[in-house]
């Protein structure tokens, strides 16, 4: 599903796909349905005099019900991403990253945000790329890009792209930045 934008470069859809959407809809939907079904049963328990159990079931039902909304939101997001997926773009002079590839903003040891900015920039100029390596296998396969704009390497996950798109991206990066794919020089005596 790669789109060729001519002089603007190539655009690759970068999202987890329907398998992830289906899992989240199923999980949130089942949990929410179970929670909502506890509400009337809890009310019946309260009416028959089993107050602690009935109240506990009703509270669980009330607090679990919003997960039905999360299931619906996951479905809407999946439909949106099917027709307008986030795009990872490779232009003649940069790798333009969608929000999903930029990473989460750094957090402190107690979970507080240290910065609002994600660790990766919106675009990584090709001349800033130092090394590129394909690592992992299966679901862990990815492209690790070390560049001058961030201390943390950029990780492009293969499972977020079609296999053909991922392989095309690797081939085009090898053509655009061949020195980044060169093996590290060995040190004498080691």
pLDDT at 56: 92
- Give the model confidence (pLDDT) of 114-141 as tens digits: 777 888 899 999 999 998 888 877 778 8
- Mean predicted confidence (pLDDT) in 64-74: 92
Average pLDDT over residues 70-80: 94
Place of tokens 């796909």: 17
Q: What is the pLDDT of residues 4-25, one digit of tens each?
A: 554 458 999 998 888 889 999 9
Give the DSSP per-residue string, 126-178: GGGEEEEEEE--GGG-EEEEEETT-SSPEEEEGGGS-HHHHHHHHHHHHHH-G
> What pLDDT sits at residue 77?
92
Please tell me the predicted confidence (pLDDT) of residue 98: 92
Domains of the chain, residue spans: 18-83, 121-180
Read off the pLDDT of each residue in 79-106 and give the average, rounded to a whole number: 90
- Confidence band, pLDDT 50/70/90 cuts, at residue 111: confident
Q: Tell me how crowded residue 169 is: count the other CB atoms within 10 A of its CB.
A: 21
Beta-carbon contacts of 14 under 8 Å, excluding residues fewer than 6 positions away, are 85, 86, 87, 88, 98, 100, 101, 156, 160, 161
The pLDDT-based confidence of 150 (bands split at 50, 70, 90) is confident
Q: Kindly report the pTM of this predicted structure.
A: 0.73
Q: 167-186, pLDDT tens digit by residue?
A: 999 999 998 888 888 765 55
Q: What is the pLDDT of residue 115?
A: 77
Give SS3 for 113: strand
**pLDDT on residue 32:** 92
């Amino acid at each position: 599903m790669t789109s060729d934008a001519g002089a603007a470069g190539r655009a690759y859809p970068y999202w987890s796909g329907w398998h992830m959407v289906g899992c989240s809809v199923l999980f949130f939907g089942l949990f929410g349905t179970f929670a909502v079904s506890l509400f009337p049963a809890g009310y019946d328990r309260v009416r028959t005099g089993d107050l602690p159990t009935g109240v506990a079931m009703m509270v669980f039902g009330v607090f679990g019900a919003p997960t039905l909304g999360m299931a619906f939101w996951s479905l809407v997001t999946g439909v949106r991403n099917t027709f307008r997926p986030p795009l990872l773009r490779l232009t003649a002079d940069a790798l333009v990253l969608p929000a999903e590839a930029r990473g989460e903003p750094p957090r402190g040891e107690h979970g507080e945000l240290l910065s609002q900015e994600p660790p990766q920039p919106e675009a990584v100029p090709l001349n800033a790329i130092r090394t590129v390596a394909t690592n992992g296998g299966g679901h862990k396969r990815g492209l690790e890009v070390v560049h001058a704009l961030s201390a943390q390497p950029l990780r492009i996950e293969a499972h977020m792209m079609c296999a053909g798109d991922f392989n095309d991206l690797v081939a085009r990066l090898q053509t655009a930045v061949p020195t980044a794919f060169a093996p590290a020089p060995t040190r004498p005596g080691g």
